[in-house]
Amino acid sequence: MIKGPTKLFGVIADPIDHVRAPMVFNPVFAERGIDAVMVPLHITPDDLELSIRGLAAMPNMGGICVTIPHKMTMARLCDELGLAAQLTGAVNAVRFEDGRLIGDNFDGEGFTAGLTGEGHSLNGANVVMIGAGGAARAIA
């Protein structure tokens, strides 16, 4: 049940139809008794900066997950970047703290953890990377 103190999180994209993060995060919030909800937010590139500033100003908005086509633009909009975001120039997660945007990128870490979890070793491996967007930058 969404109530007044419920912490809000969003996942931003354009288009939005492919987004699955709410289906992953909302059951975890419920299972762990966390009073939070994640919702998809369709934000176009032209409206990105204005929309993000509005979201960051909301006291009950905890942050956003970022996907296509916003990852590289979000890196420029953030007030502070984690190391992975600095190295890649792309952001896939933004935390809002006192109106500030703190961004980082977990795509590479998540991708490699998934491969390792499936029994694939990346040590000394040669790979072919198809793509050059925010996720590909983080994985490389």
Q: Which residues are catalytic?
A: 71
| CA pair distance 29, 38, nearest whole angstrom | 9
| CA pair distance 111, 35, nearest whole angstrom | 28
Residue with tokens 């969003």: 10
| CA pair distance 85, 92, nearest whole angstrom | 8
Give the residue among 137, 135, 52, 133 at the shortest CA–CA distance from 95: 52
